[in-house]
Amino acid sequence: MKWQMGSSGRNVEDRRGMRMMGGGGFGRIGIGGVVVLLVLSVVFKQDFLSLAGGGGGGQVIEGPVQSTPAEDSLKGFITFVLNDAQAAWARILPEQAQTSYQDARLVLFRDAVESGCGSASAATGPFYCPADQRIYIDLGFYDELSSRFGAPGDFAQAYVLAHEIGHHVQNLLGTAGRVRQMEEQRPDQANALSVRLELQADCYGGLWANTTRDRNLLDPGDIEEGLGAAASVGDDRIQRMGGQAVNPESWTHGSAQQREEWFRRGYAGGSVESCNTFR
């Protein structure tokens, strides 16, 4: 992807120097740990991914941010993607959905973090918290995205952030709130509704990719990288990685094929309407 260092960091909070001590503690268990926790969640029907965040109540110790040149470059890239995607949505939402856009903030952390949605560890992967309108990412996730999940490339990294910004768009449009109400009313449909919500966030990521094409920001192979990243985190693929049988009833994000398809739909359609996964 064509980009330059120096993009404004006004919406970026770098908490990589913060550590959480006590309260059960956190360990960096990585994507491999995510696979194990997901399998346990499926088998025992309990959310072990949330439990990985620990018991809370720990002390937060703040120190200097220690970084490497590679991390500095990655931070510069995702800051660029954050600003570019948010500028695009600031144009798209008023035009297509008669809704004003409000910037989300990006929080960079290591190992564990306190969010408006509670404590979380790096094992949960990148996530969006609607309570504080922040996206949380441990930069180490990108190494595992490439090495463990087989999804290398800068546009694969961009896809991850664009997906989380998609959740922010859903929050602004009220979609996320309506889905939460539906899940409470129909708990038997909670997983199916979650899949539709996640696929729509994939589609919104593809919609942003459409705008980068129109502005000549794409390099050859970028969209393939994005599609590969979407497919790499499909629920069926994660279940196979954990040595389990594929069980669609337990899915919360959608299959590899579904995630790739909806990213492609957003990229081809270029509109909010083309991302209606609830139709």
- pLDDT tens for residues 239-250? 998 899 999 999
Ranges of beta strands (E only) in the chain are: 12-14, 18-21, 59-62, 105-109, 112-115, 118-121, 127-129, 134-138
Q: How far is it, in rounded angstroms, from Cα 117 to Cα 180?
A: 14
Return phi, psi of residue 135, to 5°.
-105, 130
Distance of CA 114 to the CA centre of its chain: 17
For residue 274, pLDDT beyond 70: yes
For residue 169, pLDDT beyond 80: yes
Q: How far is it, in rounded angstroms, from Cα 190 to Cα 179?
A: 9
Q: How far is it, in rounded angstroms, from Cα 116 to Cα 43?
A: 29
Task: Report CA-CA distances (Å) from 69 to 61, 73, 74, 260.
Answer: 24, 6, 9, 32
More reliable by pLDDT, 18 or 164: 164
Determine the angle formed by the axes of helices 190-214 and 222-232, rounding to 10 degrees. Answer: 170
Listed range (3-7, 101-105, 170-174, 211-215) with the worst mean pLDDT: 3-7
What's the average model confidence in pLDDT over 184-199? 95
- pLDDT tens for residues 107-137? 999 999 999 999 998 888 999 999 999 999 9
Instruction: Quote the pLDDT of residue 59.
Output: 61
For residue 257, pLDDT beyond 60: yes
Q: How far is it, in rounded angstroms, from Cα 22 to Cα 17?
A: 17
Q: Report if residue 20 sits inside a domain.
A: yes
What's the average model confidence in pLDDT over 1-11? 91
Give the pLDDT band of residue 189 (cuts 50, 70, 90).
very high
Residue type, 132: D
Question: What is the chain's length?
Answer: 279
Q: Report if residue 211 sits inside a domain.
A: yes
Q: Report if residue 7 sits inside a domain.
A: no
Instruction: Quote the pLDDT of residue 256.
Output: 96
Of 224, 273, 233, nearest to 253 by C-alpha is: 233
Instruction: Quote the pLDDT of residue 44.
Output: 43
Q: What is the pTM of this model?
A: 0.85
Determine the angle formed by the axes of helices 69-97 and 154-173, rounding to 10 degrees. Answer: 40
Please give the tally of structural domains in the chain: 1
Q: How far is it, in rounded angstroms, from Cα 3 to Cα 255?
A: 31
Instruction: Provide the residue range defining the domain that includes 142.
Output: 12-275
Instruction: Quote the pLDDT of residue 24.
Output: 41
As a whole number, the mean pLDDT across the chain is 88
Q: Report if residue 4 sits inside a domain.
A: no
Q: Report if residue 1 sits inside a domain.
A: no
Q: Report if residue 184 sits inside a domain.
A: yes
Q: Report if residue 139 sits inside a domain.
A: yes
Task: Give the full edge-to-edge strand order of the sheet including 127-129.
Answer: 12-14, 105-109, 134-138, 127-129
What's the average model confidence in pLDDT over 15-29? 61
Long-range contacts of 98-104 (CB under 8 A, 24+ apart): 99/172, 99/173, 101/169, 101/172, 102/133, 102/172, 103/11, 104/11, 104/128, 104/133, 104/134, 104/135, 104/165, 104/168
For residue 103, pLDDT beyond 90: yes
Q: Report if residue 151 sits inside a domain.
A: yes
Of 256, 257, 155, nearest to 208 by C-alpha is: 155
